[in-house]
Structure 1
Amino acid sequence: MFTNYLKIAWRNLVRNKANTVINVFGLTVGLSSCLLIGLYIQHELSFDTFQQKGNRIVRLIMEYRFDGSQESSQGNFTSTYVAPVFVHTFPEVQSAVRMTSSAVTVRYEDKLVREPNFMFADSTFFDLFAAQFKLGNPRKALDGPNKVILTETTAKKYFGTDNPVGKILLIGSDSTAYQITGLVADYPTNSQIKFDFLASFSSLKANQEQTYFNANYTTYLLLKNEGSLATLAPKITPFMKKEMAGSGAFITFHPEPFSRIHLHSNYDAFVLNTTITYLYILSAVALLILLIVGCTYINLSTARSLERAREVGIRKVAGARKAQLFWQYIGESGMVCLVALLLSLVVVLVALPAFSNLTQVSLTARTLFSPYFLLFALLITVAMSLLAGSYPALVLTSFQPIQVLKGLFKHSGAGRTMQQSLIVFQFSISIALLVGTFIIQKQLAFIQQKKLGYDREHVLVLPISQRMVSNLSAIKQELKTNPDVLSASRCVSTPVSIVGGYNMRSATMSEKAQMGVTANPVDEDYIKTTGLQLVAGESISEQDVKDIRLADEKTPRQYHFVLNESAAKKLGWTPQQAIGQRMFLDNSRPGVVKGVVRDFHFESLHAAIKPLVLFPEDYGRQLLVKVSGRNLPQTIAFVETKWKQLAPYLPFEYRFLDDDYTKLYQSEQQLGTVMDLFAGIALVLTCLGLLGLSAYVVQQRTKEIGVRKVLGASVASIVSLLSRDFLKLVIVSVILASPVAWWAMNRWLNDFAYKIDIEWWFFAVAGLLAVGIALLTVSFQSIRAALMNPVKSLRSE
């Protein structure tokens, strides 16, 4: 019996080749899209699952404000003092680790490399986090200064197959000797902790600080058990109030569960976070694509039900039960879905490298063919078989054999309504995705075209060390001997992202009335190099920088500040009034306001512009080099040559300021690209189903078309007749999809402080595009039918 069912199913699929091709192609594309998205989501959801103690680890988020301020600031940073205090104070805390990561220069023999993933951590790192040691003792590997552990890939890069343990690396611009004390396996890609080098935290001079300020590090706590978080969290703020009493500031900490950081935190870990909203959007897109494919299968199968009515009637008369017929047709659906699954696995395997590059996530064939993921794919296929096959099976098995055999059976009104509803549903999904794509791309264009208040074009960013600062004036002068080098500036932060937290007050305010502010140490050329616009006063001068450098205990430092308009306003001054006013940046930096610059965006457009202070200092992390843009390769080569002559202890590395800005919106760009791809797929699949259904409708009306042509109907009138009903359904889809798309995209845009307005033409363009594509799809079949010889048409029946 089963073999007979398979033969019948195969014959039906072969007989209706067009339907079969459309269904298999649509299901293959739909399942491939779903599997690719599923691989990405699985990777993101699996972050840090290999950490056996992950459910007991928390990260501390610092909240602070100064007395008199109504606003608190937060961040994923602490001072080095917090970890030992918490371990000794709270019984819920078993251990703690302090960590920081940065780019560091590494020298071995003739190799000089700037390594971007150099991490410092306490020896307690291995109390909290898993690591597979290949060589070395985890208890002793980081128990003293100037010790470093390498990953396998890094060890191979420097030492090949030799044993690296015991060898010496020269670290930093001062070439401090670090002994290699261990070798560990590479950390998985789905980890929020990423390093190539892991050095002892005690190598940093900051490890013995006893202040809650100087918060530049990340602190993780290991709790004694999972329930400890509930008892620890309420104790922290009362304890910190006692600690900070009389300090003029309020500081507290919020423990953040380790397992929630990657998808739910507002603060990145040591790799960029992924927002859970992004995964929800991708999951919804995958589901909607599967629904579109399922609707196509249902429509084409029910449209062909008349052709199979006689088969059903004969089977019922021969004694077939309804359940037998139902499962036979479900089996046919399963056969089609299984073929599509096998094809989609091949498609995914081929598309995986491109999709990995698109999402910037390392997805491998090993994950695709893992038992769990194959089971997931099989479950989707079974669900698809049931979803797509159930309704057509119910329609077919509900036929009355007597009516069918007498030729009295016709499609019911309910059946036509179901077909029309599914077409509307398919196009509603496609139009909503199109509108979402338009709005996302428009917002991304707005981000790129927004006037930021500084010049990010043709600015090179070169990492520097403190060793360079004493010789930096000479280096800048040498660079400017090239006419295409316009200016150069030392700074801590580029104008793309300034995050330094300070407090400020005017001289007329009490010491307790501090205001939170972002500030950036710069030199005299910063405003010129970045193109900031002075609205009052003057820029920082070279003498201002010298004054800071030459000051001593007998001659206290007097700073000259440049505020942005928001900072001046917060202190109660207009830009003109601010010039010459005395103020303090923290109590340790007294000085006067020398200039005010126009507000500029020093964070992403997700955040509103805040008060900012630029002030002179004799240190920095980056050198900005403004070039003309002419002869760019030659100019970069010139800068490299001078760099190697004047700073041979640092490798020459550069990036463009414009690239830094683009990276701020990496997740939005990925979302836009993915939405482009899958909105296009959704529209193609919708039109594919419409093509198959319109072909069937045209076939059913062949005789009618022939009669109309004999009576003098024109080709245009016949095309209009056949297309009209479908176009009405697409217009209804536009009406239904528009409010849903507006609601969803309005919520997405609310995450931006600066955003586009959702305009009516987004919906009009999406609607016209959908109508146009639908018209082309239907017209293709309609024109073929209208051009057919009417004699041939009348003979066809």
Structure 2
Amino acid sequence: MIRNYFKIAFRGFRKHKVFTAINVVGLSIGISAALVIYLIVHFDFTFDQFQKDRERIYRVTTDYSFSGEVGHNGGVTMALPGALTTEATGIDQVAPLFLYGDMTVVIPDGSAAGNKIKKQGGVIFAEEHYFNLIDYKWVSGTAKTSLKAPNQVVLTTKQANIYFPKLKYDDMIGREVIYDDSIKTTVSGIVEPLKEHTDFNYHDFISYITGTTNHFLKDYFQVTQWGNTSSSSQVFIKLSPTANAAQVEKQLNAMLKKHNPPKPENKGNTQDFHLQPLTDLHFDQVYGGLDGERTASKTTLYGLLAIAAFLLILGCINFINLTTAQASQRAKEIGIRKTMGSNRSQLIAQFLSETFLITLFAVIIAIGLAPVILKLFTDFIPQGVTANYMHQPDIFVFLLILILLVSLLSGFYPAMMLSGYKPVDVLKNQVQGGGSKSRSAWLRKSLTVTQFVIAQFFIMATILVSKQIYYALHKDLGFKKDAIVNISTPYKQLNTNKQEVFRDKISAIPQIEMISTGGAPPSSGNTNSTEVTYKDGKKELKTDLQLKFADENYLKVYQIKLLAGRNLKASDTTGGGAFVINNTYAKVLGFRNPADAIGKLIDFNEKKAEIVGVTADFYQRSLRSPIKPLTLLIPPKRNKWNNRTFHIALKAQTAGGNEWKKAIASVEKAWKEVYPEDDFEYTFYDENIAKFYTAEQNTSKLLTWATGLSIFISCLGLLGLAIYTTTLRTKEIGVRKVLGASVTQIVTLLSTELIWLIVLAFVLVTPIAYWAMHKWMENFADRTTISWWIFALSGAGMLTAALFTLSFQTIKAAVANPVRSLRSE
């Protein structure tokens, strides 16, 4: 019986090649998109799911409110871990981590310099309890002893083989590894690296106690200070099986108030600890990922799932439309089979088997397309996402479920409809399965409208996202961003005169117009702020003020407009210093005229700072954030950390010239002369600004991809319907031509109904798209307008694509010789 089903199915496929091809292509596109999206979503949702007792593991984070500004930090004060072990209840394990950043690693090999590895990442300071929370397999050494003493280090097998390629793991124990020339450690343990998807991608584990005993690290490891919070100081805890997270969090905040009670002068400012579940770590958009690890957005992942669902629905709609449109052609087959004894369940099984086969063909094509799509979207798709079918058996489970689901969605209604025909009506030729008066015709129209609602929504969304990106990249941000290079000098060299030597060398480069040294550029991801007070004799105004450390050339390099007063100068570091504030802060102080703020004094760091200038406003972050009160100031001489960035303005480049390339080469040469041990790195500032909108650019690419596929699938279905309609009305077209109808009139006749469906879809989708766009635009403090032409362009584009698609078949039918269609009459 089953063999007979498939035999009949293949016979039908050969007879209706075009419709079969349209169905297979439409479904394969939808299924390939669903497969790729499944790989991405499955990849992100499996992060750290392998951890034992993961539901009891939490990261302690910090929330604070400072002068009305709400902030979040993934780190905690370094005094917290010690207090947790002695004062808190309901906690089984406390595992503090210190994220140090890139290090220079030296493996002594008998030579003077040793085997040196620059910029080695993945190095952290940890206690033995870390290995009780995160499951590693030990190759040599034990968790109890390997990180107990100062100057010990545990390595993963992969890293150990890099450091000691010729030794066995047991022979590596006791070997020396030197970090940053001053942290001398001995290998005390070897573990297997985590093979599952995880954010804990570390491979060098230095004993935490090393930080409290090493003279170079003592300034970082302030383990008795409750007043400082650093994102480098992370704490993970494992609750007892009976403990309640809310109660433990309450304990932590009670400890904070006990050891660091709020001061009366800081009334209104708050600081609290929060417990973040381990399972939320990979999706964290508030506190930041672990040590700069990529975080995923659940909103984006759910959006991807929605796109996959829409594309699958489009493919299923094509199948339902074309199958029901062909109903009249299969009516006699159904009538004869029922007359010969076939029951309805057998007919349903026949039609579902045909759908199953088409879906199976589509899945086979999708399996081949998935790796190609992954390669095309390498920039958007996370590293680690692969279509390795042999090592990912879950993919086949997903595809099996998908085959069954799509087969039922696509085939159930047509199977029920076709199997329900009465043999008497069929053999009397009273079935009009494809006619306009049949119930199935209304279903086809509804499904066609649904297709074009989805397609036009994607078009509108794509246009708006592209418009916002263009607006953000071309808006006047209040400063110059082109032809500016940023270079940061090594922080370990700040106490030397090398920075001055480097500046003297690059100042002589002819392609450089001007140089400024200071802190972060005008708009960056780094912020530095403090609370300041202004007294006007009547009231006291406390404000959170952002600080930008700069020199006298900073405004000139970035061409920031000075509205009143003067620029900074080197002597402004004396006394309380001088402020060049932005216009937003001047308005907060109550000065509508910027010149009125000049000469006013601000309480800053227990001293008086004078406002000497007011600049025009400029954006300190992306357009998502509003402009905030800010001041530019000369960094104190002792604070060289905020004076380590070079802002280099290049001279204009001639058309087709390579002056900038020569300038960078000359700067690199000077760098190697001054900092021979450090790698030369630079960035063009306009590229950094563009990175603010990486998420939007990726969204735009994704929407463009989804839009193209949805239009293609919808037009495939439209072409199929046009082919069927013209075939069904062949004799009508012949009669009309004999009676004098023109080609234009016939094309209009054949296209009008379908075009009206597209117009109806446009009317339905416009308010939905407007609402969705408005909600998305709320993410931006400064945004473009939702212009009327976005909707007009979308509708016109969809209509043009539809007319172009229909023209292939309608014109062909209109110009056909009527003799052929009327010959049988």
TM (normalized to structure 1)?
0.91
Structure 1 CA distance, aligned partners of 2:487 and 2:155? 26
Q: For residue 550 of structure 1, what is the aligned residue in structure 2?
A: none
Count residues with an aligned counterpart: 783
Displacement of 1:224 in angstroms is 2.0
The one-character-per-residue Cα deviations of 1:153-206 (angstroms, maximum 9, x if unpaired) are 55555555556665555544x665455555544456843344454444543323
Amino acid of the structure 2 residue aligned with 1:723:
S
Q: For residue 232 of structure 1, what is the aligned residue in structure 2?
A: 248
Structure 2 CA distance, aligned partners of 1:105 and 1:524? 35
Q: For residue 212 of structure 1, what is the aligned residue in structure 2?
A: 226
2:585 counterpart of 1:563: no
Call closer, same or farther: CA 1:363–1:646 in 2, change over 3 Å. same
Call closer, same or farther: CA 1:657–1:71 in 2, change over 3 Å. closer
**Which of residues 507, 514, 517 is equivalent to 1:487?**
514
Call closer, same or farther: CA 1:754–1:493 in 2, change over 3 Å. same
Q: For residue 51 of structure 1, what is the aligned residue in structure 2?
A: 51
Displacement of 1:139 in angstroms is 4.1
Structure 2 CA distance, aligned partners of 1:162 and 1:773? 66
The one-character-per-residue Cα deviations of 1:568-598 (angstroms, maximum 9, x if unpaired) are 44344564344333333444x6533333333
**Comparing 648-657 and 501-510, the one that deviates more:** 501-510
**Comparing 460-469 and 395-404, the one that deviates more:** 460-469
The one-character-per-residue Cα deviations of 1:126-148 (angstroms, maximum 9, x if unpaired) are 34333444555444554455555
Do the aligned residues in 2 keep the contact of 1:341 with 1:381 (CA within 8 Å)?
Answer: yes
Q: For residue 32 of structure 1, what is the aligned residue in structure 2?
A: 32
% identical aligned pairs: 31
Structure 1 CA distance, aligned partners of 2:599 and 2:64? 29
**Comparing 2-11 and 683-692, the one that deviates more:** 2-11
Do the aligned residues in 1 keep the contact of 2:96 with 2:126 (CA within 8 Å)?
Answer: yes
2:663 counterpart of 1:635: yes
Call closer, same or farther: CA 1:664–1:155 in 2, change over 3 Å. farther
Do the aligned residues in 1 keep the contact of 2:458 with 2:707 (CA within 8 Å)?
Answer: yes
2:755 counterpart of 1:727: yes
Q: For residue 553 of structure 1, what is the aligned residue in structure 2?
A: none
Call closer, same or farther: CA 1:72–1:726 in 2, change over 3 Å. closer
2:130 counterpart of 1:125: yes
| Residue aligned with 1:359, SS | coil
Structure 2 CA distance, aligned partners of 1:481 and 1:258? 53
Call closer, same or farther: CA 1:755–1:22 in 2, change over 3 Å. same
Structure 2 CA distance, aligned partners of 1:105 and 1:493? 25
Q: For residue 214 of structure 2, what is the aligned residue in structure 1?
A: none
The one-character-per-residue Cα deviations of 1:290-340 (angstroms, maximum 9, x if unpaired) are 111000000111111111111110111112111111111011101110111
Amino acid of the structure 2 residue aligned with 1:130:
D
Q: For residue 453 of structure 1, what is the aligned residue in structure 2?
A: 478
Call closer, same or farther: CA 1:451–1:112 in 2, change over 3 Å. farther
Structure 1 CA distance, aligned partners of 2:303 and 2:249? 32
Do the aligned residues in 2 keep the contact of 1:489 with 1:625 (CA within 8 Å)?
Answer: yes
Structure 2 CA distance, aligned partners of 1:142 and 1:525? 49
Do the aligned residues in 2 keep the contact of 1:37 with 1:282 (CA within 8 Å)?
Answer: yes
Do the aligned residues in 2 keep the contact of 1:703 with 1:796 (CA within 8 Å)?
Answer: no
Q: Which runs of 5+ in 1 are unaligned?
A: 548-556
Call closer, same or farther: CA 1:761–1:229 in 2, change over 3 Å. same
2:326 counterpart of 1:326: no
**Comparing 4-13 and 656-665, the one that deviates more:** 656-665
State how 1:550-629 maps to structure 2 within 5 Å. Answer: 558-573=576-591, 575-587=594-606, 590-615=608-633, 616-617=635-636, 618-620=639-641, 622-628=645-651
Do the aligned residues in 1 keep the contact of 2:314 with 2:714 (CA within 8 Å)?
Answer: yes
Displacement of 1:623 in angstroms is 3.2
Amino acid of the structure 2 residue aligned with 1:34:
A
2:83 counterpart of 1:85: yes
Displacement of 1:149 in angstroms is 4.7
Do the aligned residues in 2 keep the contact of 1:490 with 1:526 (CA within 8 Å)?
Answer: yes
Do the aligned residues in 2 keep the contact of 1:505 with 1:571 (CA within 8 Å)?
Answer: no
Do the aligned residues in 2 keep the contact of 1:98 with 1:121 (CA within 8 Å)?
Answer: yes
Displacement of 1:694 in angstroms is 0.5
**Comparing 7-16 and 352-361, the one that deviates more:** 352-361
Do the aligned residues in 2 keep the contact of 1:40 with 1:361 (CA within 8 Å)?
Answer: no
Do the aligned residues in 1 keep the contact of 2:48 with 2:196 (CA within 8 Å)?
Answer: no
Q: For residue 96 of structure 2, what is the aligned residue in structure 1?
A: 97
Do the aligned residues in 2 keep the contact of 1:123 with 1:139 (CA within 8 Å)?
Answer: yes
Call closer, same or farther: CA 1:413–1:406 in 2, change over 3 Å. closer
Call closer, same or farther: CA 1:119–1:48 in 2, change over 3 Å. same
Structure 1 CA distance, aligned partners of 2:68 and 2:238? 33
The one-character-per-residue Cα deviations of 1:439-497 (angstroms, maximum 9, x if unpaired) are 11111111211222232223323332234333212211211101222333444433322
Do the aligned residues in 2 keep the contact of 1:60 with 1:78 (CA within 8 Å)?
Answer: yes
| Residue aligned with 2:397, SS | helix
Structure 2 CA distance, aligned partners of 1:512 and 1:185? 60
Do the aligned residues in 1 keep the contact of 2:136 with 2:191 (CA within 8 Å)?
Answer: yes
2:409 counterpart of 1:387: yes
Structure 2 CA distance, aligned partners of 1:312 and 1:437? 45
TM (normalized to structure 2)?
0.88
Q: For residue 656 of structure 2, what is the aligned residue in structure 1?
A: none
2:271 counterpart of 1:251: yes
Structure 2 CA distance, aligned partners of 1:359 and 1:6? 39
Q: For residue 433 of structure 1, what is the aligned residue in structure 2?
A: 458
Q: For residue 552 of structure 1, what is the aligned residue in structure 2?
A: none
**Comparing 413-422 and 355-364, the one that deviates more:** 355-364
Do the aligned residues in 2 keep the contact of 1:462 with 1:624 (CA within 8 Å)?
Answer: yes
Do the aligned residues in 1 keep the contact of 2:75 with 2:235 (CA within 8 Å)?
Answer: no
The one-character-per-residue Cα deviations of 1:635-666 (angstroms, maximum 9, x if unpaired) are 11111110010111211122222332232222
2:673 counterpart of 1:658: no
Structure 1 CA distance, aligned partners of 2:196 and 2:562? 45
Q: For residue 300 of structure 1, what is the aligned residue in structure 2?
A: 322
- Aligned-residue Cα RMSD (Å) equals 2.8
Do the aligned residues in 2 keep the contact of 1:107 with 1:175 (CA within 8 Å)?
Answer: no
